[in-house]
Amino acid sequence: MKFMLRKSSILAVILLLAIVVSQVAAVEDENAGLVGFHQYIAGELDLENDTITLPLYEGSMTDGTPVWYILLDVSDEMAAADLGVNFSPDLALTEGGVRTATAGDGGKWVFEAGVVDFAPEHAVTPGEAPNFFPPAVVQPGSVADADYSPLVKVGDIVFNAPVIAYGVDAMGLNFCDGMVDKAVAHDKVVRLCPDEQTVTIALTHGFAFGREVVYISTDANVDVAAALEGSTLTPSLSNVSAEALTDIFVAVNGPMGVDNPYRQGLNSALSGEGSPFNVVGSVPDLSTGYTPIWAANIYVWSQAAIDAGYVTQISDSARQLFSLAEGGWITSPTGGEIGDSGPIINCPVVARLQ
């Protein structure tokens, strides 16, 4: 009898282990897509040059003025799959910051309002070292009127459709050789070819949940953010409802050094070292409620953190940041609690690199 009980116990343990192993395998299979590289927006991704080539769409204003745009996110899941863009249901939650369009002949969108002027010359003059931020002079390279928004409602669906050229016909946008006239096109455009119906856009590096990501910055609601991001100054983004926003965390005085693998922050970026490596709080498969419209939370390392040698690169989510804030190691630029600093930027995530 003892032998039988022992044998039954062993069989039970074996059965339990088999169940656990199968459950672990199921979890690993379910999360396999969360490990390593993953591209969210369809297009030709060139990580050597930090660009992506996307479909170029042509529309018009009601008076026939040409409008050229790209599609990056949409509030409808089926449309996202068909178009190869990010699914962002929260875009449908905003009651402001959206304009409308209708599908005209051949499906080309006709916009009722919203104008972008690409003529201004983009300019950023850093502050005096070592505090390169805030910059001494900023001028966004493109400026929108109050009616323009990259968020466009067509029927019941909200699209993230930033305009990358306005008021110019296809002949005037023949930049297939990469020699882009930034007086007629968005500053992030590095190649534009209407004959091929493609446009190549520059990318920005950042972090999300400990992973490196790349994203596109197309619009911002204030001039400093628009100029720093090489984006269109878009005042209407201030009207986007909180339900359609997520956070992005922006360091000011992070580690510096062009060859420093831990560098981060606006001082580093403004000194010419590269991307600021902001920390984003929303990625299509790493978080729920993904949205490309981000509210900037700007923070600085405190003098106590600097003196203690604690200043480092942050790559995790808000949890890590707020933990550091509780210890007094990071604060808002004015020394208070970190939180929404005012800038709102349109930054669709293109790919997760790890």
DSSP one-letter string for 181-200:
-TTTB-TTEEEEETTTTEEE
C-alpha distances out from residue 80 to 39, 86, 316, Å = 14, 6, 27
DSSP, collapsed to helix, strand or coil, labels residue 236 as: helix
Amino acid identity at 199:
V
Beta strands in 209-311 (DSSP E): 211-215, 219-220, 232-233, 246-251, 278-280, 293-301
Cα 122 from chain centre: 20
CA atoms of 160 and 290, how far apart (whole Å): 13
pTM listed for this prediction: 0.89
CA atoms of 167 and 171, how far apart (whole Å): 12
Take residue 185 and report the two structure tokens written for it. 């096109």
Residue 163 main-chain phi, psi, to 5 deg: -80, 130
pLDDT (tens digit per residue) in 115-134: 999 999 999 999 999 999 99
CA R_g for the chain: 23
Q: Which residues pair with 68 in a beta bridge?
A: 58, 165
Contact yes or no for 207/278 (Cβ under 8 A): yes
Q: Which residues pair with 314 in a beta bridge?
A: none
How confident is the model at residue 318, as a pLDDT? 73
Residues of the chain with pLDDT under 70: 1-34
| Count of CB atoms situated within 10 Å of the CB of 212 | 15
Which pairs with CB-CB distance under 8 Å and at least 24 residues apart come from 60-63? 60/104, 60/108, 60/109, 60/110, 60/111, 61/110, 61/111, 61/112, 61/113, 61/115, 62/110, 62/111, 62/112
CA atoms of 186 and 117, how far apart (whole Å): 10
